[in-house]
Every structure is written in C-alpha cells, then in structure tokens.
C-alpha cells in the first residue's frame, strides 16, 4: 500500500529571534520569537509511505541524502510514524526553491514542508497548531513556517504548549525584504551549536532573555500600528544583540564576514540620508534588508553597485503551508 502527499512551505525571517533552547530534545525555546514568512524562498516536499520499502529513501534537490542529514529526517519520520501508528518506510523528495547556490537553504521551510507532507501521507489530520508543534521537532524555526505573514512562536512550557500562531496575514502589510547574498559557503557553526554555546558561555544571555520579552511587546505594537520605523528598529537591534551573544561566547565566534559589515554600513548610510531601511541577520553572513515598497528602488540602487544585481533578491510577505497533492 502507498500513501502520498506533497506540501510547500515558505521560509521565514525572525524579527525577534529564537536563540537558545530550554529543552533540547523537544526543541523548546528559552524565549518567544516573531517572524515574517517570505514568498520568495520555499521548499516543496513529497512523501510516500510504502510498505514495500526496506528503508527511508530521501533525496534533496535530486541527490540522495546520506549520513547525519538523512538520519535527522528519518528520526523526524519516526515521530510521524509513532503518532500515526504506522511502520512503513517513506520515499521523501525535497526541492528547495532558492536562488541557485544562494546559501539560503533553510531548515525552517524544509521541516515545515516535511511535517505537512509526512503527516498527511501518514493519514494524520493535523491543524496548524499541531503541525507547528510537529515541525518544531525538526527545527525550531520551522515552527513559524506553518503560517503565513507575521507569526509568533509561543515558547510554552512543554510539548503541548510550544507552538506558533499567526499575528497578521501576509496581505496585512505590504513590506519588502531584500536578501543580500554576500556569501555562498556552508556555515561553519550550525544554529544549534551556536545557540548552545551562546547560552552556556555568554555572560549576557540572561539579559537577552529579558530583552526579547521587551522587544516582542514593542514589535507587536509596531505591527498593530503598521509603524515601519519601529518595526525596523526593533528587528535591527534584536539581531545585533543576538550576534553580540556569539561575540561574547567562549570561544567566541561570529556569522559576520567582511561583506556583511559592508552591507550593514551601507544601510546605516542610507538611513542617514533619510531613506528608512533596516537590516537583520541570521546564523550566516547574508544580510536581509527591511524596506517599504515606496523606498525599494532607492535601496536597490544604492546596493547594486556594491553587490551586483544578481546578489540581491527581493521578497515580500508569503503564505502558510500549501498542499500540492
């Protein structure tokens, strides 16, 4: 017997970041976080449970996955199998739709798409809250990729209470995010390793937990008032404080490279000339710029001479999970 489903999930960019776990096995975060789902970057995953298969078969962008990456997916599929009461192995085919070799392949869209496709193929019928709890077990940031638009991940105090909900849909606020692809190399320190080191060694970690609470309150206010300057200021400050945790960890590390710093400086300069734009960065050197559509061309014109048009990808708020079959 074969049971099949295919789903699409978009990636998200956190405006108030998740950077630390209260429980590693369940991926419960230390703080709430809030993100914007993006239309431009997404993952399509199809899952077929087939009782004739001797083992899970997983392919990513046309190549068979092996080793730890395949193990992570099999472990995730085991959760689905247990929940659904089945034992069949699965054929998993995943395609990441990101600009070629952009270094933006994301575990957020990946595990959100896998959670949706695998649960549906297994016969489970999960609502968004249950799906986001499931996606969380694959990767923390995937918790926020089940819904579109602005999404908050409530840290909760256990598996049942740690999930994401939509704060406002994608069409609530017309914003742009310019991804500046400064570097396409694989990151050396994964988010999981980076956040753990920050949490266990940075003397500022407790302060970060307090700040996130405060930032989240202000961000939700900015979203409800559609106050762009307030949203951008909080996002930029929160991102830099997260990166300060890496710089203050022992041993210290950083996701910045020379081009990231160049991009940040350019954004500061543009802002000084009266163009409202703000940056954020995740656990890699690419810089994402928040800008309103009316100032998009001015920001692109300023960034293009420094980075080249093919390193700049413009995104907008994106939708939640979609079932393709």
Between 105 and 270, name the residue whose CB sits nearer to ligand DP6: 105
C-alpha dihedral, 205 to 160 to 134 to 101, nearest 10°? -20
What are the b/e assignments for 238-249, b being 16+ CB within 10 Å? bbebbbbbbeeb
C-alpha dihedral, 77 to 78 to 80 to 86, nearest 10°? 110
Q: Taking the complex as a whole, how short is the minimal distance between the CB of residue 178 and ligand DP6, in angstroms?
A: 17
- Cα 263 to Cα 184: distance, rounded to the nearest angstrom: 15
* Cβ atoms of 102 and 181 closer than 8 Å: yes
Q: Which residue is nearest to ligand DP6 (CB)?
A: 140
Q: Taking the complex as a whole, how short is the minimal distance between the CB of residue 302 and ligand DP6, in angstroms?
A: 26
Between 47 and 283, name the residue whose CB sits nearer to ligand DP6: 283
Q: Taking the complex as a whole, how short is the minimal distance between the CB of residue 112 and ligand DP6, in angstroms?
A: 11
Taking alpha carbons only, the member of 282, 303, 304, 246 closest to residue 105 is 282
Q: Taking the complex as a whole, how short is the minimal distance between the CB of residue 24 and ligand DP6, in angstroms?
A: 8
Q: Residue 224 class from Cβ within 10 Å (0-12 exposed, 13-18 middle, 19+ buried)?
A: exposed
Taking alpha carbons only, the member of 28, 96, 42 closest to residue 320 is 42
* Interface with ligand DP6 (CB under 6 A): 14, 17-18, 27, 33, 107, 139-141, 191-192, 282-283
Q: Taking the complex as a whole, how short is the minimal distance between the CB of residue 145 and ligand DP6, in angstroms?
A: 10
Between 88 and 280, name the residue whose CB sits nearer to ligand DP6: 280
Between 30 and 139, name the residue whose CB sits nearer to ligand DP6: 139
Between 65 and 270, name the residue whose CB sits nearer to ligand DP6: 65
């Amino acid at each position: 017997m074969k049971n099949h489903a295919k789903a699409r999930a978009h990636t998200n960019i956190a405006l108030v970041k998740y950077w630390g776990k209260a429980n590693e096995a369940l991926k419960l975060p230390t703080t709430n976080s809030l993100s914007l789902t993006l239309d431009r970057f997404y993952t399509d995953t199809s899952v077929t449970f087939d009782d004739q298969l001797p083992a899970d078969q997983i392919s990513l962008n046309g190549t068979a996955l092996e080793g730890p990456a395949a193990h992570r997916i099999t472990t995730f599929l085991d959760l689905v199998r247990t929940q659904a009461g089945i034992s069949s192995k699965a054929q998993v085919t995943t395609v990441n739709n990101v600009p070629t070799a952009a270094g933006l392949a994301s575990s957020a869209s990946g595990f959100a798409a896998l959670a949706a496709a695998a649960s549906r193929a297994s016969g489970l019928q999960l609502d968004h809250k249950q799906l986001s709890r499931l996606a969380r077990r694959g990767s923390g940031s995937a918790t926020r990729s089940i819904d579109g638009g602005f999404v908050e991940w409530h840290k909760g105090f256990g598996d049942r209470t740690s999930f994401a909900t939509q704060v406002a849909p994608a069409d609530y606020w017309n914003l742009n995010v310019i991804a500046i692809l400064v570097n396409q190399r694989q990151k050396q320190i994964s988010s999981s390793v980076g956040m753990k080191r920050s949490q266990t060694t940075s003397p500022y970690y407790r302060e970060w937990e307090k700040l996130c609470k405060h930032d989240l309150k202000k961000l939700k206010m900015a979203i409800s008032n559609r106050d762009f300057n307030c949203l951008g200021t909080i996002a930029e400050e929160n991102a830099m404080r997260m990166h300060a945790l890496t710089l203050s960890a022992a041993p210290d590390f950083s996701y910045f490279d020379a081009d990231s710093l160049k991009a940040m400086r350019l954004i500061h300069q543009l802002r000084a000339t009266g163009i409202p734009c703000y940056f954020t960065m995740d656990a890699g050197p690419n810089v994402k710029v928040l800008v309103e559509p009316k100032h998009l061309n001015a920001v692109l014109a300023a960034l293009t001479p420094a980075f080249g048009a093919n390193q700049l990808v413009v995104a907008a708020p994106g939708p939640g999970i979609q079932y393709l079959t």
